[in-house]
Amino acid sequence: MSKTDEAAHRRSSISDAFEGRHAVRAWLVVAMLWVVGGLNFLDRVMITTMRESIKDAIPMTESQFGLLTAVFLAVYGALSPFAGFLADRFNRSRVICISLLAWSSITWLTAHVKTFEQLLATRALMGVSEACYIPAAVALIVDYHRGATRSLATGLHLTGAVVGAGLGGLGGWLAERNDWTYAFKVFGLVGVGYACVLALFLRDRPPDESSGAAAHVERKHVQFGEALAGLLGSGAFILALFFWAMYGVAVWGVIGWMPTFLGEHFHMTQGAAGLSSTGYLSVGALFGLPIGGAWADRWSRSNEQGRVLVPIIGLCVAAPSILLTSTASLLPLALAGLLVFGLARTFTDANMMPILCLVSNPRHRATGYGVLNTFGCIAGAATIYAGGLLRDANVDVNRIFLVASAGLLACAVLLFLVKLRIQAGGPARFPPAQSAGRHASEPPAGAA
């Protein structure tokens, strides 16, 4: 065996031993962040479930109530790239803890507002604080999970968000039995308490012995302009941006208007239509996220582009499924299509950060995810607003789903182009000063 082979074997042995020692902690990180993800979506969603209680306490118009969600989404989307940069530049676990503490405090503070303007201000502040969580969380998870567990870990973490969004209805339930402020007080204090617990146990992944502290030191020198320039200089990342925007158009179109469609076409009450829509989508997502993640991880052992191929397959299944829902004359058939859509489309969610790992510098992953988040939020908000314009023009709501179905197929094409870019370019290459930290500390995608 040559000296080069011996050195490579020694580095591999050290890396394997390091991964073994940190395997349990890697899954504990996912478990801890699962709770945070649930609180993240619960705190942002529950205000929408207590509309009447809030309007009775704080007089406002329908458009003003809608503005409470719109301002959150606008601030959240606009700040996502900078929030991602904070996670690339500083300690990811501390960014997560501070974000949770901040939005939980704001949740508690929301219960004490007296005017619409004060309520609107707390929703804007919520957008600022929550924007810092997702990019830091998914970046920390892929730091810990390298290779054969990366997509599954990402998908399992996102099931926490699904559960949190589903529990958003607790806000309305508690408001009916107490008052609208009660849920904000309770979950605000729960979040503050959990942030203190998280600060004691959540840590960034330490550098492994083969790389020393090189990657950690390099992070301290990351600059926002450098990160954006590096990301936008990648053709594969640009394609991923267009893909994520189109994905936002398709998915938000379905989520935003499915309750209206079910109510009108199948003569369901508002409550039944809403529960059916969110229920079937959530159940599908709870199964789809781990399935899509585990499948991609398994495929990536023989082909690192399996993380791209699984979402493409999911999109090709989701497109006809939502088309079935929009054209079905029988409710069970429509709900079956909705369930399959909810399952198949989340193959993308479970693998988006792992895909980003294939096309971006590891020093800029959280920033990249933040940029994608911005495009997705803008596309989603525009789609929901455009749907309202179509409704005002007396256009049948199922036309929105026809557009969504076509959009999902377009997403599959864009993702296939990303795959071709990766295939043509091989492993992502970066300037020597940066690549040292990447190649020394992280095995290629697909490695165990």
How do the pLDDT tens digits run along the chain, 448 residues long? 455 445 444 444 444 444 556 678 899 999 999 999 999 988 888 887 787 788 888 888 777 777 787 788 888 888 999 988 988 888 999 999 999 999 999 999 999 999 999 999 999 999 999 999 999 999 999 999 877 888 999 999 999 998 888 787 777 788 888 888 998 999 999 999 999 999 999 999 887 644 444 444 455 566 888 888 888 888 889 999 999 989 988 888 888 778 878 888 888 876 677 777 778 888 999 999 999 999 999 998 888 888 999 999 999 999 999 999 989 989 999 999 999 999 999 999 999 989 988 888 888 888 888 898 888 888 877 777 777 777 677 777 778 888 899 999 999 999 999 988 888 765 444 444 333 333 334 433 333 3
- Position 208 scores a pLDDT of 62
The pLDDT assigned to 218 comes to: 54
Residue 209: predicted pLDDT: 46
Predicted confidence at residue 32, as pLDDT, reads 96
CATH number for the domain formed by residue range(s) 7-441:
1.20.1250.20
pLDDT of res. 47: 83
pLDDT of residue 16: 45
- pTM (2 decimals)? 0.79
Nearest-CA neighbor of 262 among 245, 246, 279, 274? 274
Q: Which among 298, 347, 377 is positioned nearest to 135, based on CA atoms?
A: 377
